[in-house]
Amino acid sequence: MIKTIKGREFEVFIPEQKIIERVKELGLKITTDFNGSELVMIGILNGAFIFASDLCRQIDLPLSLSFVKIASYDGMNSTESVKKLIGLSEDLSGKHVILVEDIVDSGLSMNFLLDHFSSLNPASISIATLLFKPEAFRFNYPLHYVGFEIPNKFVLGYGLDYDGIGRNLSDIYQLV
């Protein structure tokens, strides 16, 4: 089914049922890997809000869930964009942390998050991302839990937006 959003045409790429099944598998794998340990899940807003809420319900471990947002703003006297994290309040030292993202594309955002969270002395940091674009990835840190590897094409739905629209779609769509 084709959907037109802000004048662009999108078609279903990963249907809801496939996403649900894959999220279940990831939850089971995380449950097994952490073997009864307590987990701190950190969802990255806005895009990961649906994936994080679905994934956390497939994990059978004592778990806390928080969300953070990366704020980017342009420095006054340079073209470099500066990044800052909003929303983190708890002490993560000695905790097993899982960062939950909607998509890892170039990997720049996740690299910033890894730098930041490593400095808080957690016992471990793992990454769970629903989508991964290997052709666009410019780093070599490991992605522990990947839902789907996808081609380097723009997608939306299931939390991901196109210019603010489409986060509420149950399927994942890609540009026609």
Catalytic residues, which ones? 105
Residues 157-176 that bind Mg ion (CB under 5 A): 161
Amino acid at 24: K
CA distance 63 to 55: 11
5 lines the binding site for ligand 5GP (CB under 6 A) = no
128 lines the binding site for ligand 5GP (CB under 6 A) = no
43 lines the binding site for Mg ion (CB under 5 A) = no
Region binding Mg ion by CB under 5 A among candidate stretches 1-9, 33-41, 42-50, 127-135 = 42-50
47 lines the binding site for ligand 5GP (CB under 6 A) = yes
CA distance 137 to 24: 25
Least distance CB 76 / ligand 5GP (angstroms): 23
Q: Which does 23 bind (CB under 5 to 8 A by kind): Mg ion, ligand 5GP, none?
A: none
Quote the tokens at residue 103: 């998509």
105 lines the binding site for Mg ion (CB under 5 A) = no
DSSP state of 80: P
Q: Which does 104 bind (CB under 5 to 8 A by kind): Mg ion, ligand 5GP, none?
A: ligand 5GP
Q: HSE-up of 42 (CA within 13 Å, CB side)?
A: 26
CA distance 172 to 160: 8
Beta bridge partners of 65: 41
CA distance 158 to 124: 28
Axis crossing angle, helix 49-56 with helix 16-34, rounded to the nearest 10: 60
Among 102, 117, 130, 158, binds Mg ion (CB under 5 A): 102
Comparing CB distances to ligand 5GP, the nearer of 66 and 109 is: 109
61 lines the binding site for ligand 5GP (CB under 6 A) = no
Which residues of the chain form contacts with ligand 5GP (CB under 6 A)? Answer: 47, 101-110, 154-156, 160-162
